[in-house]
Chain A
């Protein structure tokens, strides 16, 4: 699959509180409304300006903190087609795959805010069309590729009647 879109660049340690703030706890059963606040505490303009197909690109330890699956869910709902970071916190990483949001581990230093990226998910290649940089991302573990290819964890369980990861 080929993805193409514009970059929203963030720093290190973007927590689930930046993505889905605790003060909006009461909106967790109203994801449409919660999604209007996605990443609000990192960039108050993001939710208003993000376009379908854009990428969230960050530094180390993206998604640290709470187990709230609402965080990757509202990133996906905002139209973002993948999150790229130098590293991810593990619960966020697993949640993202479970709900069908591609999360790609790569060196993001050469990618700048506003750049246009072209990502070949199958080949594992990222091209920064703005500055010409070519990057590779760390392949997902096989089990996660199986879950992602089935359309997320629920679809995987429904399809196989249980875990079928080997």
Chain B
């Protein structure tokens, strides 16, 4: 019988043929924590005298959520992670290196891997055709220590995409539109598998945005077949040898197939306080924006910054709208410097900060004031997300965010292109 990507990937790591619904114990290839989930994980392992890692080169501790540390409690948490890395030989990704999910794409995940991260957006590496999913501290701690974890093989929703994006429309608009259609729990316990002609030609940076947000529909994974574009991406990071081609079988059995013509999509925005509360950007014209954030594991890649910089080049931010730009990793930051993007943003009145999660998690670097409105390229707009339950968060593509930064209100980027 034909297999979905989820069945193929988990079957290979369980060492047997599997079908959706089955429980498997699978080998773990990459396991990671970040500074919000790692300290608890370390303490859990110490409780049962299991402070070890099965595969040190692919066990990573990322200091990204509160990097650099804004207060002593978090500085002490960071010390604990450094100590664990030193004790076990695990890799430490320091405050300069960037957001875990971007770093996993750049240096760690390979097509065919099982990747578990103690962060819900760990599904990002599905863009490289890894079975990548988020879990809690204890699950990842145990998976990292033993090199194994358990899964129920998820049924799959195939998202079949055809057509070509209009100018000013990106994969962020696609995924916001999809979540608006199926709901924030529309794919709970399922894998999303993105495919079709529009995905075959979609560059990796845009694929990563799709996989990153699979969890916002409740999905366990957001999988994309590996192909030449995957190979090129890995080659750019000196990892062409990590490439293998993996595709779903023609006769794969899907629980549901969702057909989308991406050519019909328009710039889309999620409104407070749930990701599935979507409207078109043009329907929100006139909505005041106090802060714009361009960055995050969803849209903080070089090409995202290029899109925003093209719109902002030679212009100034609206005087009432502050703009924060954060490259997702050190690699992105260096390339943005070389390409002159940082200069463009600073000249336009933006604040460019070092790689990391920035204001997305509400810890530092741009918490909202009461009743303030933020338009962000991040993946989540829950009440309280950006440090204040009295704040209002809208989500969009970098193009919509940049256009809105110039106008001071939510703006369809096609108006400024």
Contacts and interface: CB of A to CB of B under 8 A. Distances in A.
Interface of A: 13, 15, 17-18, 21-23, 25-30, 41, 60-61, 64-70, 87, 89-91, 94-95, 98-99, 141-143, 152-154, 157-158, 162-163, 165-166
B380 A28 contact: no
Contact of A25 (B50, B74, B189): B74
B142 A17 contact: no
A70 to B, nearest CB: 7
Contacts of A99: 138
A117 to B, nearest CB: 24
A41 B138 contact: no
A17 B146 contact: no
Contacts of A17: 362, 382-385
Interface string B379-404: 01011111111000000000000000
Nearest to B119: A67
B338 interface: no
A157 B118 contact: no
A21 B188 contact: no
B167 interface: no
Nearest to B47: A154
A22 B118 contact: no
Contacts of A70: 40
Given A41-B389, A64-B184, A69-B136, A13 B274 contact: yes
Given A17-B382, A21-B362, A162 B148 contact: yes
A130 B382 CA distance: 33
A44 B357 CA distance: 27
B327 interface: no
Given A18-B383, A67-B120, A29 B138 contact: no
A157 B50 contact: yes
Contacts of A95: 135-136, 138-139
B370 interface: no
A18 B274 CA distance: 12
Given A28-B77, A70-B40, A89-B188, A23 B388 contact: yes
A22 B361 contact: yes
